[in-house]
Amino acid sequence: MSEPLVIIGNGMAAARLVEELAKRALGRYAIAVIGEEPRLAYNRVLLSSVLAGESEMADIELKPADWWRDRGVTLLYGRKARSVDLAEKRVTLESGESVFYSKLVFATGSRALRLPLPGAELRGVCVFRDGADVDMLKRMAAQRERIVVIGGGLLGLEAAYGLGKCGAKVTLVHVADRLMERQLDAPAAALLKQLIESKGIETLLEANTIRILGDGDVRGVELADGRRIAAEGVVFAAGIAPNSELARDAGIETQRGIVVDDQMTTNIDDVFALGECAQHRGVCYGLVEPAYEQARVLAARLSGEGDVYEGSVVSTNLKVSGVSVFSAGDFLGRDGGETISWRDQGLGLYKKLVIESGRLRGAVLVGDASAALWYLELIRSRADISQWRDALIFGRALCERKAA
Ligand SMILES: Cc1cc2nc3c(=O)[nH]c(=O)nc-3n(C[C@H](O)[C@H](O)[C@H](O)COP(=O)(O)OP(=O)(O)OC[C@H]3O[C@@H](n4cnc5c(N)ncnc54)[C@H](O)[C@@H]3O)c2cc1C
């Protein structure tokens, strides 16, 4: 008889885990997936393109309903898990239903943070995390409202661009002195700001929001330097927090996220976690690629195969703003190394590579990210690039031609 495997969360990590399991151990488990969102799992990364009007929610579903059915998966979506009883191996849903497991996987992802500012509860304050948020943002933008986006990271830029494309007048306010400061160096961020502003998005740096103004409805925001920006909507894009409370309340070890070892196992036998809710070697990733690597390792573990997850080299790609931006690895050269950079202000192009001991350690690209995957592969594989050193900044084709 199949063992009951219950996955809490019906997001990107859960879908990939089922896919990986289906390749290895179909039949061994009777899988049930519990998902709070009232829809099939979708590609959350592409919510930005739904907001920008470039695709519909139906276009970004990860798998059709038949796919899940054909693999015998019971989908309990539109249902939230309320508690987990480790002794009885039971998950209780908000509806009062119980689901029993032999193995349990947390794939509960993260939530967008709402900064604890005065006015944060006003009507017209939202976040950008799921399909329901996108519906709300589109409604706001359709009324051609003025919207302030708080946060100049990847999510804030994508929200600002999408809202602008839907007709809103957008101001992006960011507390740091440059956009995407965790992914870009100063020249790359300056170029990105210039390109974003050319798309009609006003961008304010070193702008610390201290209050959301309004009376019932949002009327604007106030910055620490006294400036006030009139707005009918505010979007927080100022960070995420792992959804780890359900696990913590059940008695599973959590810190920022749910603590897992190199096989995605928690401190409790038969209980696992992956994706944005998991904390591995002290790191909670906020990107999908690590979740997919973890899904492969966890599927192997659940299938009785040995595989270990040792952490991920992360990269960032900005997709919808009409500006190609990529960064990966130690792009600042924090640990030393040699820097090669190339800039064409007129064409809006910037490239920077960090090399150390004949290996590529980090890269930043703005304007043209066509070489991104190759650079990422070189960083991840720690390949010897000495033979290409002179032409490396110009991309793969030239390097290979020179080597031939
Ligand atoms: C707009 C946007 C753009 C992004 N762009 C990129 C990008 O370019 N590159 C990149 O790498 N990453 C990007 N990300 C991040 C990426 O989407 C996440 O890393 C990925 O979705 C993580 O997968 P996950 O399954 O861990 O979490 P999620 O996909 O968030 O899925 C978790 C699911 O669990 C559900 N859940 C939570 N608690 C419960 C409960 N108690 N009961 C039932 N269900 C529950 C949630 O409702 C959710 O559906 C982006 C995210 C957003 C929002």
- Please check the confidence at residue 25 and state whether its pLDDT lies above 90: no
With beta carbons less than 8 A apart as the criterion, state whether 339 and 352 touch.
yes
- Please check the confidence at residue 399 and state whether its pLDDT lies above 90: no
- Residue closest via CA to ligand 1's atom 4 equals 45
- Please check the confidence at residue 398 and state whether its pLDDT lies above 90: no
Ligand 1, residue 275: give the atom nearest the CA.
Answer: 26
Return the CATH number of the domain spanning residue range 322-403. Answer: 3.30.390.30
- Residue closest via CA to ligand 1's atom 8 equals 45
Ligand 1, residue 12: give the atom nearest the CA.
Answer: 25
Query: What are 239's two structure tokens?
Result: 């960070």
Torsion of CA 249, 255, 258, 261, to 10 degrees: -130
> Can you give the residue ranges of every domain in the chain?
3-111+240-302, 125-236, 322-403
Select from 16, 44, 76 the residue to mutate for testing ligand 1; criterion: most ligand atoms less than 8 Å from CB. 44
Superfamily name with CATH number, domain 125-236: FAD/NAD(P)-binding domain (3.50.50.60)
Tens-digit pLDDT profile for residues 111-131: 999 999 999 999 999 999 999
Ligand 1 binding pocket includes 243 (Cβ within 6 Å):
yes
- Residue closest via CA to ligand 1's atom 2 equals 45
**Chain centre to alpha carbon of residue 273:** 17
Ligand 1 binding pocket includes 9 (Cβ within 6 Å):
yes
Number of helical H runs and strand E runs in the chain? 10, 25
The answer to whether the 3-111+240-302 and 322-403 domains have the same CATH topology is no
- Residue closest via CA to ligand 1's atom 11 equals 287
Decide which of 318 and 371 is more confident.
371
* pLDDT, average across residues 254-277: 98
- Residue closest via CA to ligand 1's atom 30 equals 109
What are the backbone dihedrals phi and psi of residue 153, each rounded to the nearest 5 degrees, phi first? -90, -170
Please name the residues in contact with 70: beta carbons below 8 A apart, sequence gap of 6 or more. Answer: none
- Please check the confidence at residue 181 and state whether its pLDDT lies above 70: yes
How many whole angstroms from 234 Cα to the centroid of ligand 1?
21
Ligand 1, residue 129: give the atom nearest the CA.
Answer: 53
Average pLDDT over the chain, rounded to whole? 94
Ligand 1, residue 15: give the atom nearest the CA.
Answer: 25
- Residue closest via CA to ligand 1's atom 20 equals 288
Would you place residue 11 in the very low, low, confident or very high pLDDT band (cuts 50, 70, 90)?
very high
Ligand 1 binding pocket includes 81 (Cβ within 6 Å):
yes
- Please check the confidence at residue 359 and state whether its pLDDT lies above 70: yes
- Please check the confidence at residue 347 and state whether its pLDDT lies above 90: no
Tens-digit pLDDT profile for residues 131-152: 999 999 999 998 878 999 999 9
- Alpha-carbon gap, residue 296 to 164, rounded angstroms: 38
The topology under which CATH files domain 3-111+240-302 is FAD/NAD(P)-binding domain (3.50.50)
Ligand 1, residue 318: give the atom nearest the CA.
Answer: 8
List helix spans (H) across 44-199.
47-51, 65-70, 131-142, 154-165, 186-197
- Alpha-carbon gap, residue 167 to 170, rounded angstroms: 9
- Residue closest via CA to ligand 1's atom 29 equals 11
Ligand 1, residue 47: give the atom nearest the CA.
Answer: 1
How many whole angstroms from 130 Cα to the centroid of ligand 1?
8
Ligand 1 binding pocket includes 249 (Cβ within 6 Å):
no
How many whole angstroms from 324 Cα to the centroid of ligand 1?
23
* pLDDT, average across residues 234-255: 97
Residue 63 is predicted with a pLDDT of 96
